[in-house]
């Protein structure tokens, strides 16, 4: 009850002082006791933050370049699988073994081609000697050289095919030096990443080039952000966005953990069913403490970067009157209604691009009483 009486007295005294000060209609004349009685608290503006433009839902997707399949090069039967969905793998890691007669026959074909190439080289050496002695014609030597080149090319081709089929360089060299033929082809990881899916079972028959595993690098992901067509026109490529614990679904993020990225593509088509535009964002989570997962649904906040010199104040400190915005700035003998330009909002704060200095002290509470005193009782 005592506070209400003091507040009424302070308002009456402040109103009388303001009315008497007709020369400064943008100023509320107050002394320190009145400021205290009105519950006015002062603080200086903070550095500005990016302004929120759009909040939208999104789906986590894998960039096409970040996904590969591990394939069986030759047909056969799966004899062993060494990894499962969700396992991390390194490039070149052994994933599976496949028993294949075709793989065995390819090795035999290489050995036959190697023997043919050796005979062709010997024939070339002989014909070069005969040509030097003038015994054979140039055409005979040219034909021998062509056969030798074709034989060597065939060996190189078969070597590459067998390496694609899982025969290591060391095993290939051992085979050509008289080692044993292998009946089991090995399938290795084509990249480092995480196994997304295992596509076969042990004992299952596979045809040539059938995929066995899907593997993806999840250190960089895309977001398919669905934005209302009205909001899409306000976005620009390069705008930053954030995913916070309060705006994500089942991410397990800590309260202070933020995943950031930027807009890279703004779609040109509108979905006829949802009337939304697809906006692509890229996130780098290689150093994040928590990981987003493909096909996960999240909520995204897209921001407009602030300009240099932008300051931030609580939203409650800003008043709007006749299509203009103001904050109350402390000055000698009272509070001045200072016109400001609001550049945007973010997390309960307004970004001010014009009208404030960093060392200004502005009212952040008691705003309603100051507005009433400035505009007059009952005036809007």
Residue 128 domain boundaries: 68-216
Q: What is the pLDDT along the chain (380 residues), one digit of tens a residue?
A: 444 444 444 444 444 444 444 334 588 888 888 888 888 899 988 887 777 788 899 999 999 999 999 999 999 999 999 999 999 999 999 999 999 999 999 999 999 999 999 999 999 999 999 999 889 999 999 999 999 999 999 999 999 988 888 888 888 888 888 878 888 899 999 999 999 999 999 999 999 999 999 999 999 999 999 999 888 888 989 999 988 644 444 444 444 467 889 999 999 999 999 999 999 999 988 766 667 889 999 999 898 877 777 888 999 999 988 888 999 999 888 889 999 998 878 778 888 888 899 899 999 998 888 888 887 644 44
* CATH (domain of 207): 2.40.50.100
230 and 194 assigned to the same domain = no
> Is 116 contained in some domain?
yes
CA 153 to CA 251: how far, in whole Å? 54
Is residue 380, in this structure, part of any structural domain at all?
no
Q: Is 198 helix (H, G, I), strand (E, B) or coil?
A: strand
Query: How many folded domains does the chain comprise?
Result: 3
Please check whether residues 276 and 355 belong to one and the same domain.
Answer: no
CB distance 72 to 209 below 8 Å: yes
Same domain, yes or no, for 72 and 207? yes
User: Which residues in 336-348 are b (16+ Cβ under 10 Å) and which e?
Assistant: bbbebebbbbbee
Helix (H, G, I), strand (E, B) or coil at 129: helix
Q: What is the DSSP letter of 248?
A: B
Strand, helix or coil for residue 375: helix
- The CATH number covering residue 281 comes to 2.40.30.170
317 Cα distance to chain centroid: 36
């Amino acid at each position: 009850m005592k506070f209400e009486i003091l507040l009424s007295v302070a308002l009456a005294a402040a109103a009388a002082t303001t009315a008497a000060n007709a020369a400064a209609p943008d100023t509320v004349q107050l002394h320190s006791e009145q400021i205290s009685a009105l519950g006015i608290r002062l603080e200086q503006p903070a550095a500005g933050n990016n302004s929120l433009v759009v909040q939208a839902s999104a789906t986590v997707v894998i960039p096409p370049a970040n996904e590969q399949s591990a394939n069986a090069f030759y047909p056969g039967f799966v004899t062993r699988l060494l990894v499962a969905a969700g396992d991390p793998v390194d490039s070149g890691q052994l994933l599976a073994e496949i028993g294949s007669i075709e793989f065995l026959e390819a090795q035999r074909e290489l050995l036959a081609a190697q023997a043919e190439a050796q005979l062709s080289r010997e024939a070339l050496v002989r014909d070069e000697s005969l040509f030097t002695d003038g015994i054979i014609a140039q055409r005979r030597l040219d034909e021998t050289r062509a056969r030798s080149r074709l034989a060597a090319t065939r060996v190189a081709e078969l070597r590459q095919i067998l390496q694609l089929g899982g025969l290591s360089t060391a095993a290939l060299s051992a085979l050509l030096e008289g080692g044993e033929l292998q009946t089991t082809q090995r399938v290795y990881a084509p990249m480092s990443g995480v196994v997304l899916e295992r596509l076969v079972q042990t004992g299952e028959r596979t045809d040539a080039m059938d995929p066995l595993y899907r593997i993806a690098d999840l250190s960089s992901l895309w977001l398919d952000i669905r934005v209302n067509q009205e909001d899409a026109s306000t976005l620009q490529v390069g705008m930053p966005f954030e995913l916070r614990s309060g705006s994500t679904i089942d991410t397990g993020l800590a309260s202070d953990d933020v995943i950031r990225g930027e807009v890279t593509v703004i779609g040109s088509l509108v979905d006829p069913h949802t009337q939304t535009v697809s906006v692509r964002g890229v996130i780098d989570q290689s150093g994040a403490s928590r990981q987003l997962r493909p096909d996960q649904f999240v909520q995204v906040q897209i921001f407009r970067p602030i300009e240099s010199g932008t300051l931030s104040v609580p939203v409650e400190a800003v008043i709007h009157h006749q299509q203009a915005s103001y904050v109350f700035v402390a000055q000698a003998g009272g509070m001045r209604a200072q016109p400001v330009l609001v550049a945007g909002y973010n997390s309960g704060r307004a970004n001010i691009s014009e009208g404030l200095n960093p060392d200004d002290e502005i009212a952040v509470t008691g705003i309603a009483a100051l507005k009433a005193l400035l505009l007059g009782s009952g005036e809007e």
